[in-house]
Amino acid sequence: MNVFVNFLKQTNLYRFYTIAFLFTIIIINTPFTLFRNDASSLYEENINPVTVWNNLATDLGSKEKLSPPEFSRAYALLHISMYDSLLSARKTEGNNNTAFDNKSSDVESIAEAASNVLVYLFPKYINEITRIKSAQISQFQDYVDDDEFLSIKRRLMLAHQVSQTVIDYAEKDNSDLVWNNSNNKPIPIGDNRCIWNGSNPVNPLAGFWKTYILKSGSEIQAEKPIPCGSEADLLDIKQTYEVWKHRTPEQIAAVHYWGDKPPPVIWNIILNQRIQKYNMSIFDAAYSSVYLNVGMYDALVSCWYTKYTYWTARPFQRIANITTEIPTPNFPGYTSGHSTISIVASRVLGEIFPNEKDYFNNQAIEAALSRLWAGIHFKQDVVKGMDQGDKIAKKIVEDMHNNSSSFIYNL
């Protein structure tokens, strides 16, 4: 046996058989089926590998009809697994130059980490996920030398450890809390006319999910809503109705642009376009994506804490003759999720692409106002949501400048 192994080591067959063995481990428990064409189309060699996995998460989350908090949670876990894998590998290898890309090692690190987390989040799509993982890893198998091959093996093991740590964290992030219709009752502000009166609200306990940069969802909160029935409240109703009534065709188009997809999806598309436009390195793409998605996730948790503290009504529940441009989401109004997370997203992207800071800010304002134009939010929902997002954004940006550690995995 030793003679045979020594013979293989003297030829390229050793590396070939070892890679084949690793691939066998990767797919051994995967049922053989024909993979869907749209899954394979997500992988193209000229697309940044970080974007490939983000696109797949978008595809799978859309199929599963995830809510904004659920979508944001999936994005955050995915991108933390990739970023923490890359950062941990650099620290392990004694390479503190985060701008350095060892492309083969980096691609295979994130393929291992991302695929494991996505299989955890979307287990019924294991075939599609494994297809893309295999495509990313196989592109380098014939071109690495022996030293790089050993480095890749170590990277794959580390990435597996990182992804498992992320999965363990996800198991305890409170996303499985069960609502019993009494464990977070509304705080009345005035009379009950302003209380949301729907049924089966979406993610009523998402405000208690664990956050990453914020201490908790309750750390940054909007002030109390306007007292129901007050002069300011009646003025808000009037202004909301007038804005809705006189919306322009351009505003209606903005309503659908920002309303036909969950806002975390739209902001990820905006980032992915720039990752490709500027030909960003794998590490820089991972860094940008993780801060965008962790920031939006923390913002949504904070916003949901506010929503289910006050349970404020939507316009259609208080204005008899209003017809919304898009369906009203099935959760309370105050504060607006689009307004809160879009301010955060715009600030994160503005730090990464300072030449486009004004553009991102204008996009965030349009996203926020689109909810008013749609007739699904009151003015105070939007204004106070933007204020809340501004306070959260400062925390996220501060962390971007001062933190060089991983989010979940610690060596």
pLDDT bin (cut points 50, 70, 90) of residue 145 is low
Per the CB < 8 A criterion, the answer to whether 88 and 409 are in contact is: yes
Which of the two residues, 7 and 187, has the higher pLDDT score? 187
Per the CB < 8 A criterion, the answer to whether 19 and 141 are in contact is: yes
In 3D space, the residue among 322, 324, 316, 361 whose CA is nearest the CA of residue 343 turns out to be: 361
**pLDDT tens-digit series, residues 250-295:** 999 999 999 999 999 999 999 999 999 999 999 999 999 999 999 9
What percentage of residues in the chain have a pLDDT greater than 70? Answer: 82
Cα–Cα distance for residue pair 348/345, rounded to 1 Å: 5
**pLDDT tens-digit series, residues 81-134:** 999 999 999 888 776 655 555 577 899 999 999 999 999 999 999 999 999 999
Task: Specify the pTM.
Answer: 0.87
Cis peptide before 30 (omega within 30 of 0): no
Q: Tell me the angle at which helices 379-402 and 357-373 cross, rounded to the nearest 10 degrees.
A: 150
Report pLDDT for 193: 84
Report pLDDT for 13: 38
Domain boundaries, the chain: 2-171, 192-402
The mean-pLDDT minimum among 105-114, 177-186, 221-230 falls in 177-186
Amino acid at 22: L
Cα–Cα distance for residue pair 150/144, rounded to 1 Å: 10
The mean-pLDDT minimum among 5-9, 79-83, 110-114, 166-170 falls in 5-9
Report pLDDT for 146: 61
In 3D space, the residue among 260, 189, 225 whose CA is nearest the CA of residue 387 turns out to be: 225
> How many Cα neighbours within 13 Å face the side chain of 137?
26
Q: Could you tell me the fold of the domain covering 2-171?
A: Vanadium-containing Chloroperoxidase; domain 1 (1.20.144)
Q: Could you tell me the fold of the domain covering 192-402?
A: Vanadium-containing Chloroperoxidase; domain 2 (1.10.606)
Rounded to the nearest 10°, the torsion over CA 391, 393, 394, 400 is 160
